[in-house]
Structure 1
Amino acid sequence: MGRSTWKYQVFFLFCLILHSQLPFPSSLSSSLSSMPPCSALLHFSKSFSLDKSASAYDPSYPKTASWQEDKHCCTWDGVECDKNKSHVVGLDLTSSWLMGHFHSNSTLFFLPNLRRLNLADNNFNFSRIPSEIGNFKSLTHLNLSNSVFSGQIPFEISQLSSLVSLALSWNELLIETPVWKRVIGNLTQLRELILDRTNMSSIRPNSLMNLSSSLTTLSLRYCDLRGKLENNILFLPSIQTLDLSDNSFNGLLPSSLFNLPNLSTLDLGYNQLVGPLPSHVSGLNLSVLSSSSNFLNGTLPSWLFSMPSLETLYLYSNQFVDEIGEFKYNSLKNLDLGYNKLHGSIPRSVSRLVNLTSLSLSSNNLSIMLGSEMFSKLKNLETLDLSNNLVSINDNAIYALPNLQYLDLAYSNISEFPIFLRLTTNLRYLSLSNNQIYGQVPRWLGDVGMNSLYYVDLHDNLLQGPFPSLDFSSLHFIFFSKNNLTGEIPSLICDAIHLEVLDLSHNNLSDMIPKCLVNSTALSVLALQMNSLHGTIPTTFVKGNNIRSINLYGNQLEGPLPQSLANCTYLEVLDLGNNKINGAFPYWLGSLQKLQVLVLRSNRFQGCIGNPMTKFPFPNLRIIDISNNQFNGSLPITYFEYLKAMMNVDVSELYMGDNYYQDSLNIMINGHYIELEKVQNIFTIIDFSNNSFSGEMPKTIGRLKLLIGLNFSYNNLIGYIPSSIGNLDELEWLDLSFNKLSGEIPSQLADLTTLEVLKLSHNQLTGHIPSGNQFNTFNNDSYTENLGLCGFPLSRTCDNHEAKQPPPPTLQQDENLEHENGFGWQAVSIGYACGTIFGTFVGYLMFKIGKPKCLVRMVKLEQHIMLRRLKKNGHKRGGRR
């Protein structure tokens, strides 16, 4: 009896807990079933908070904020009633700032006469779509797009047999095959089906054949659909808009898609389709055709240029060949044929395209005369991208493109500025990089854009003379690197209050760095490397700045580092190499949590590197180069213990930088200094060479398992090479030459199969050189001036040379080893005690109740986790190689 009562008490407590999670008391549920529509709506609105961030699209505003109880709900914003105002038949709360969980017992479901429901562009906090949605038997339009729903789409949606439009796109939803079959089988009235970014990976493409023949719009973009699109996969005589882009469709492009009689928009972009476009079509009258980023080939058929209603043609990133055909109509507004294998000239019929706003022919092999009559008629042109072609400029053609905002002529073999730019007043983006433009930047370029120029890129040209006096007030991005500009950075640069990226590297600029540059809160990248700048680094880096990268390498800067650099909390790259900067090691930079690269090479820093002043210094540091300075004392062992980015793989991006700027560095790779224009995040390098460090190498160096390069050469290090270096599975170069190291070369180093460069010369090493793997590839230079070494590749054999073994560890070394491994005798004692207690408890369970299932599951789970970790680590190491 007591045991039964106990069970009822537990059951009652469980019900009480479940009851407390409901948004309104269960005692009211019966009255809510007959709740008036206005009360139900008001209760629904109060179950959410209003937050502007919940809606991403404009215009957005909180419609429910104006709802008032003293007014009939039929007058409320977003509410639609029938003629008698007795039933709510429509609710449109799109972009209404609704934030919160969507409960299954929401009062919204007490509006059974709803015909149209639009809750798009809100934030329902990854709620599941309630199965009660199936109660809206009269619903014809349902839109839950972009509202942060998640989980499986409930099969009850297939019960809404009156649905004409269903939009569930851009959530975190999954639709399984059984639900999909019921949806396409039961919703026979559907005219619009929009499921973009819904996980449909389990759906077979041939199931599309069963879609309702009444569909006019089908959008399945980014749904992870995969497989071949069979030639007769779709029979949709009424379809007008068909979007199957951003999936994994492969195989031949189905020609039957071009026979759909009412098709107006067709988007097959970003798949893996192959083959040519149909050579002939009949009755097709497209307004939009996009099949970009596939593997289509062959020539461009003539019908592409003969459709009177075609407004958008996107075929970039394919393998089309031959010439561009003649345009017969002028309806085209957007044309992108970039990244193909087209050749020849642009047809003169381009001049007919007077409605053209965007023209991109980049990365082909076209011959283009810029300034010819055909371009002068394109007065509506806003975007012109002719980059990576053979472009020539007609000096005598002066005309205006009054609406031009984007011009890209990079990699086009031009040697002068396009003179038509003088009459271009709305330009925002200008790229003339990687050409052969010679001479000074013309003064009239400063007038281009009339305060609208946002982005200017002239890097990799032959420009000379002073830095141009532009109107900097609207500029956000300036790229003038790799030219021959001279003189100072003009003070007008201080007018660029919106400047985000300034790259003037690889020029001959002199004088000092303007102080205003480090006073900005907008600046993200300051790249002034390889110039002749002198003076000190400005000392006023303001708090709240957004600087991500500072590269001042290869100048003549002097003085100490300003401690205000600690205000750069977003700093990832700091390269100050090859200057004349002095002072002690900047330990205060250790507080910068995002810092990945610290290069202080070839300066005049001096002194010991003491203990860190912060608890976890440099947690994200991947590259540290302090070589060629005057540091002394012991190696900073404590710092090595916290370089977590060199211990664990946590790389989200392949390269350092962002969409606008890729960080470049001059770093040592395999013993040679190389300038990398893009730096991979997997580079993990330590270079302390050419200093006066003394003492022993730390054993903790073996924890930095992601190290690719380690250089301690040209110091005064003593003692043995730590065998823990054998744990550095990714190590590609190791340079310990010109020290006073003794003892044997650890045999564990022979396990480093990635090691390409080994330099151990000019030490006091003894014993047999390890053999096998990479050690069979190293020559004498790796070991010279170590009189005690013997074995291959040296001519000295080991017959009469006794290997010198390291002495047994002292008590102090034992304690250090315990500290490194994380276990001391205290921890072991505690472990034995806890193990005894736990073992006794488990033994009691085994004896009393047999083998407990929970314990078995626990052990199996631990085994599963360990197996996954082993596979994951193996995969990452394999991928890295």
Structure 2
Amino acid sequence: MTDLLIEYNNFTGMLPSSLSNLGNLVDLEVECNNFEGKITDFLPNVKSLLYLYVGSNSFSGPFPSLGANLTKLVELGLSNNQLRGPLPSQIIGLPNLTWLSLGDNLINGTIPSWVFSLPALEYFNLSNNKLTGHVKQFKSTHLTHVDLSNNNLHGRFPSSTFKLVYLSSLILSSNNFSGELDMLCHAISLEILVLSSNSFNGSIPQCSGNFSIYFSLLDLRKNNFSGTIPDTFAKKNYFETINLDSNGFEGPVPKSLENCKMLRVLDLGRNKFSDKFPYWLGNLTLLQVLILRSNKFHGPIPNSKFKIPFPNLRVMDLSNNNFTGPLPRKYFKNLNAMMNVDEASFELKYLGMRGGGSTYYYNDCLTIVIKGSTIDMVKVLTIFTVIDLSKNNFEGQIPQIIGKLNSIRGLNLSHNSLTGHIPASLANLTMLEWLDLSSNKLTGEIPQQLKNLKSLEVLNLSQNQLVGPIPQGNQFDTFLNGSYIDNLALCGPPLLNACSPRTPQPPPLMFQQEDNTSSGFNWEVILPGYICGLVWGLVMGYFMFSRGKPQWLVRIIEGERNKSGKRFKKHSHRNRAR
């Protein structure tokens, strides 16, 4: 037997030690099962073995010391187990090894120097372990993928690594690496760069315009970067994700981002950008996530010059800026990805990307305020939809058109200067899980139709000027006093003040006649005339009874009588003549 492949099953228990007797074995793949025990108990020690995959099981114990005869190994995959201890430094040479995947274990200590000297190494993954220390210079000229994320590595990452001709993917997130990004000028083949959650600093060099046109992912969030973003994004580039969240970037949003026609995620949140709303981003038809939260954006949001702006946008977070003017009604009207989404037909996927041949996975990570709490979403479903325009200076009414966005999960318009009534059209947002309209100047009653929002879990209408009864039934029976505090005159449960009897409404017939112009009967015209006639009659009656007959009025009346008498006589004579 040369090949033994029993992967992607639900096998349990321990593999038989008799496997070590397979002297001609070339390919052993048992990954993605529930096997346990120690790898050395069944590992064949034969020169013929080229491919060994035992990842995604429950193997434990110290990292196995590979037998001296396994020098021909080409690919070694031990990831996603419970292997612990340091990497064995006594292994000084696997000259043919091209694939080394040891991620998602409990490996500790430093990365031994032999790893950096493997001459044929192309794929290297030590992510999600407990490694410490510095990273040394890689001597392999064939490296294409390096993933050291989620360890305790620190210091400066060797800049010579960026000079590797074939390096396309470098993932160093969640460590404590430091230094500037000048080495990026040498990254002519880089397609994926993830440096998030480290201590990198400095600015993005102007040479970033020399990146490969195939550069698709730039994740620099949660570092100490500063300065402006170079306006050097080339035309026909392949950027899909640009995440700069939680740094110190400043200045305007580079206009050349409009060249990123493939862009799906743009997160500029929690920086110092100072600019007007970059409306031209609405021409990026594939954009699904736009986050500008916690910056210094200002001014009104102008009407888009594009026929259908942001047609695929699912997450729109403009919170905690200085935007003014009315809410962007035209954008609400065209957010097609937030309308009429048939979730039953959607395959559950996460925002992100997958490399060719499953060489890497990347999930977009977003920081969003959900149901009143700031959440770091490490995975974001593609059906997740939210609008957050809170903590700005928006004014005017909430447009009725927002009721068309019947697939959104969260709507936050709090801490603005919005006025007018809560639109009843919000009752159409049947998927809504949280609604925050607090700290505005809203008036009128809470629309009774909102009690039909059966998915609503969090409601905050506090600090407005609302009046009248709180809707009862369904989800409204679960909301506490905090949802309604500091309003003018709300009443009914859960508040203690009971509602007064309702004032009778005017007869419906009056509104029907008011709207029916063909009837010729208009109360707005008749009522003032009726009142004036009544007042005139009372005044004349008073003069008549208090002062006798007014001579001018007597002359008018008697004159009219004489004229009437003469006309009557003329008519009588004519009738007799006939």
* TM-score, length of structure 2 as denominator length: 0.82
1:598 aligned residue: 290
Match for residue 49 of structure 2 among 346, 349, 356: 356
Amino acid aligned to 2:338: M
Partner Cα distance (1:356, 1:518) in 2: 45
Partner deviation per Cα, 1:550-602 (whole Å, 9 max, x = no partner): 00000001101111110000011000001110111001111000011100001
Does residue 484 (structure 1) correspond to residue 179 (structure 2)? The answer is no
Check 1:423–1:804 CA distance in 2 against 1; reply closer, same or farther (3 A cut).
farther
Task: Structure 1: give runs of 5+ residues left out of the alignment.
Answer: 1-308, 815-881
Check 1:804–1:696 CA distance in 2 against 1; reply closer, same or farther (3 A cut).
farther
How many pairs are equivalent?
Answer: 493
Partner Cα distance (1:394, 1:509) in 2: 27
Partner deviation per Cα, 1:304-344 (whole Å, 9 max, x = no partner): xxxxx342333343232124423223111111122333222
Partner Cα distance (1:576, 1:369) in 2: 43
Does residue 788 (structure 1) correspond to residue 481 (structure 2)? The answer is no
Q: Is residue 385–residue 407 contact of structure 2 (8 Å, CA) maintained in 1?
A: yes
Partner Cα distance (1:485, 1:701) in 2: 45
Which 4+ residue blocks in structure 1 deviate beyond 4 angstroms? Answer: 368-371, 650-653, 800-805
Partner Cα distance (2:267, 2:311) in 1: 18
2:115 aligned residue: 421
Partner Cα distance (1:801, 1:794) in 2: 18
- Give the 5 Å matches for 1:255-654: 309-326=1-18, 327-347=20-40, 350-367=43-60, 369-370=62-63, 372=65, 374-387=66-79, 388-393=81-86, 395-415=88-108, 416-443=110-137, 446-447=138-139, 449=140, 451-472=141-162, 473-489=165-181, 491-520=182-211, 521-649=213-341, 654=349
Partner Cα distance (2:319, 2:327) in 1: 13
Q: Describe the SS at the equivalent of 1:433.
A: coil
Amino acid aligned to 2:205: P
Identity %: 46
Q: Describe the SS at the equivalent of 1:641.
A: helix
Match for residue 353 of structure 2 among 651, 658, 675: 658
Q: Describe the SS at the equivalent of 1:690.
A: coil
Deviation of 1:655 after TM superposition, in Å, equals 1.2
Partner Cα distance (1:385, 1:804) in 2: 76
Q: Is residue 15–residue 42 contact of structure 2 (8 Å, CA) maintained in 1?
A: no
Match for residue 499 of structure 2 among 798, 807, 814: 798
Check 1:507–1:454 CA distance in 2 against 1; reply closer, same or farther (3 A cut).
same
Check 1:433–1:338 CA distance in 2 against 1; reply closer, same or farther (3 A cut).
same
Q: Describe the SS at the equivalent of 1:583.
A: coil
Match for residue 681 of structure 1 among 371, 382, 403: 382
Match for residue 699 of structure 1 among 400, 404, 420: 400
Match for residue 369 of structure 2 among 657, 668, 686: 668
Check 1:773–1:760 CA distance in 2 against 1; reply closer, same or farther (3 A cut).
same
- Give the 5 Å matches for 1:41-190: none
Partner Cα distance (1:803, 1:747) in 2: 18
Higher relative contact order (CA 8 A, sep 6+): 2
Q: Is residue 86–residue 107 contact of structure 2 (8 Å, CA) maintained in 1?
A: yes
Partner Cα distance (1:737, 1:689) in 2: 9
Deviation of 1:670 after TM superposition, in Å, equals 1.3
Partner Cα distance (2:115, 2:403) in 1: 59
Q: Is residue 591–residue 618 contact of structure 1 (8 Å, CA) maintained in 2?
A: yes
Deviation of 1:672 after TM superposition, in Å, equals 1.1
Greater C-alpha radius of gyration: 2
2:564 aligned residue: none
Check 1:746–1:405 CA distance in 2 against 1; reply closer, same or farther (3 A cut).
same
Deviation of 1:389 after TM superposition, in Å, equals 2.6
Check 1:383–1:719 CA distance in 2 against 1; reply closer, same or farther (3 A cut).
same
Q: Is residue 237–residue 259 contact of structure 2 (8 Å, CA) maintained in 1?
A: yes
Partner deviation per Cα, 1:602-640 (whole Å, 9 max, x = no partner): 100111111111111111111111111001111111111
Q: Is residue 767–residue 801 contact of structure 1 (8 Å, CA) maintained in 2?
A: no
Partner Cα distance (1:493, 1:464) in 2: 19
Q: Describe the SS at the equivalent of 1:474.
A: coil
Q: Is residue 402–residue 423 contact of structure 1 (8 Å, CA) maintained in 2?
A: no
Q: Is residue 324–residue 347 contact of structure 1 (8 Å, CA) maintained in 2?
A: no
Comparing 591-600 and 648-657, the one that deviates more: 648-657
Deviation of 1:364 after TM superposition, in Å, equals 2.5
Check 1:723–1:349 CA distance in 2 against 1; reply closer, same or farther (3 A cut).
closer
Check 1:668–1:551 CA distance in 2 against 1; reply closer, same or farther (3 A cut).
same
Q: Is residue 494–residue 516 contact of structure 1 (8 Å, CA) maintained in 2?
A: yes
Deviation of 1:545 after TM superposition, in Å, equals 0.6
Partner Cα distance (1:744, 1:607) in 2: 31
Partner Cα distance (1:420, 1:803) in 2: 87
Partner deviation per Cα, 1:632-656 (whole Å, 9 max, x = no partner): 1111111111111111327566211
Partner deviation per Cα, 1:449-496 (whole Å, 9 max, x = no partner): 2x211110000000111133243221111110011111212x232222
Check 1:413–1:349 CA distance in 2 against 1; reply closer, same or farther (3 A cut).
closer
Check 1:804–1:323 CA distance in 2 against 1; reply closer, same or farther (3 A cut).
farther
Amino acid aligned to 1:414: I
1:757 aligned residue: 458
Q: Is residue 170–residue 193 contact of structure 2 (8 Å, CA) maintained in 1?
A: yes
Partner deviation per Cα, 1:272-302 (whole Å, 9 max, x = no partner): xxxxxxxxxxxxxxxxxxxxxxxxxxxxxxx
Q: Is residue 743–residue 804 contact of structure 1 (8 Å, CA) maintained in 2?
A: no
Q: Describe the SS at the equivalent of 1:401.
A: coil
Q: Is residue 22–residue 44 contact of structure 2 (8 Å, CA) maintained in 1?
A: no
Does residue 725 (structure 1) correspond to residue 426 (structure 2)? The answer is yes
Deviation of 1:382 after TM superposition, in Å, equals 1.1
Q: Describe the SS at the equivalent of 1:414.
A: strand
Deviation of 1:419 after TM superposition, in Å, equals 4.1
Check 1:611–1:804 CA distance in 2 against 1; reply closer, same or farther (3 A cut).
farther
Q: Is residue 767–residue 802 contact of structure 1 (8 Å, CA) maintained in 2?
A: no
Q: Is residue 371–residue 398 contact of structure 1 (8 Å, CA) maintained in 2?
A: no
Partner Cα distance (2:52, 2:88) in 1: 22
Deviation of 1:800 after TM superposition, in Å, equals 5.4
Does residue 770 (structure 1) correspond to residue 471 (structure 2)? The answer is yes
Partner Cα distance (2:244, 2:503) in 1: 51
Partner Cα distance (1:683, 1:677) in 2: 13
2:569 aligned residue: none
Deviation of 1:393 after TM superposition, in Å, equals 3.5
Partner Cα distance (1:631, 1:480) in 2: 36
Q: Is residue 320–residue 390 contact of structure 2 (8 Å, CA) maintained in 1?
A: yes
Task: Structure 2: give runs of 5+ residues left out of the alignment.
Answer: 355-360, 516-578
* TM-score, length of structure 1 as denominator length: 0.54
Amino acid aligned to 2:100: L
Q: Is residue 403–residue 428 contact of structure 2 (8 Å, CA) maintained in 1?
A: yes
1:301 aligned residue: none
Q: Is residue 376–residue 401 contact of structure 1 (8 Å, CA) maintained in 2?
A: no
Q: Is residue 63–residue 83 contact of structure 2 (8 Å, CA) maintained in 1?
A: no
Q: Is residue 385–residue 410 contact of structure 2 (8 Å, CA) maintained in 1?
A: yes
Partner Cα distance (1:700, 1:332) in 2: 67
Q: Describe the SS at the equivalent of 1:375.
A: coil
Partner Cα distance (1:759, 1:533) in 2: 36
